[in-house]
Structure 1
Amino acid sequence: MAGKFSEQEAKEKLESSSRKVTDKDVERVLEKERDIEEKVQKSGSLRQYFNVVKSMYGLVKAYWRGEYREIPWFTIAAIVTALLYVFNPLDVLPDVIPFLGLTDDALILAVCLKLVQQDLNDFEDWQAEHDQAPKPD
C-alpha cells in the first residue's frame, strides 16, 4: 500500500467492516471512549475531528441505552468501525510511521462522517430538543 490509502479504499473498508460489527464491538468502543478521544485530541491530523468523535460517541451511547433508536444500524456500525479503526495502532498505515501513520485514521473518520452526516445531524437535533425538555421534579 506504499503510503497511500484512497478515499474509495477507506469507504470499502468501512462498509465491509461495518457489516461485521457486533454488540461486543459496540461495548468495546464504549469502553475505549477516553482512550480514543485522547488520541484524537492529541493527534494533529485527527484533532479537527474531536467534536465529531464526541458527537459520534453521544449517538452510540444514546442508541446503546435505548434512548435514541431512529437510526439505521449501518450508521451505528460505521461509527463503531471508524472509532475502533482509530484506536487500532496497527491499521493500514501503522500510527508510528511519521507524517503518514494517522492520515488513514483521519481519512476513515472523514469517510465515515460523509456516510453518516445526516443521521448525526438528526441525532444532534434530537439531542438539542431532548436537552431543552423540562426535567421532572
Structure 2
Amino acid sequence: MFGKKKKEIDEDFVKTEITKIDDDDVKITMRNQEEISDKIVNSNMLKKYAELGKIMFGMLKDYRRGVYTKVPWFTIATIAFAMLYILNPLDIVPDFVPGIGYIDDLAVLTFGLRFIESDIHNYLDWKLEHGDTTDIV
C-alpha cells in the first residue's frame, strides 16, 4: 500500500493512494480497528478525531455487512486508506519522531475527510432514519 514514498503529503498524493485500495485493505482495516482507534485516542494531534473515527468505522462495518450500500467505493477506500495510514508507524514522517510524528497522519485524515464529508453526513442521516444511533456522537 505504501510503495514509493513522497516527500510531502498533498491532495494528489492522497487521491492517488486511495485509488490503490482494494477490498483486502478494507478487511485489514476492520481487523485492526481497535489498534487504530487506540492510536487516534492516545495521540494528542489525532484525539479530536476519535468520535469521527468511530463513525467512519461504523460506515465500514455497515458497508461490509451489506446494510449500507448508498456509498461510493471511493469513500470506503478513503476511510480504509486514512485508517491504514494512521496504523502504519513508519509512514512519511515516522510516528515516533517527537512533536511531529503525527503531522502526516493528521494531513491524510484531513484531506480524506474533505473528500468524503457529504458521504459521512449522508451516512449519519441514514442511521437516524433507521433508528440506529450506534456509532453516532
Q: 1:135: which partner in 2?
A: none
Q: 2:107: which partner in 1?
A: 107
Q: 1:20: which partner in 2?
A: 20
Which deviates more from structure 2 when the two are superposed, residues 17-26 or residues 39-48? 17-26
Q: 2:62: which partner in 1?
A: 62
Query: Are 1:85 and 2:60 matched, yes or no?
Result: no
Structure 1: where are the runs of 5+ without partners?
133-137
Counterpart-to-counterpart distance in 1, 2:67 and 2:51: 21
Q: 1:47: which partner in 2?
A: 47
TM-score, structure 2 as length reference: 0.88
Q: Deviations over 1:4-40 (max 9, x none)?
A: 84xxx33222211111111110100000000000000
Q: Structure 1 residue runs of 4+, over 4 Å off? A: none
Amino acid at match of 1:44: N
**What is the CA RMSD across the aligned residues, in angstroms?**
1.5
Larger Rg: 1
Counterpart-to-counterpart distance in 2, 1:67 and 1:112: 23
**Pairs aligned (count):** 127
Structure holding more helix per residue: 1
Structure 2: where are the runs of 5+ without partners?
1-6, 133-137
Q: 2:98: which partner in 1?
A: 98
Counterpart-to-counterpart distance in 1, 2:124 and 2:18: 22
Counterpart-to-counterpart distance in 1, 2:28 and 2:104: 21
Q: 1:127: which partner in 2?
A: 127
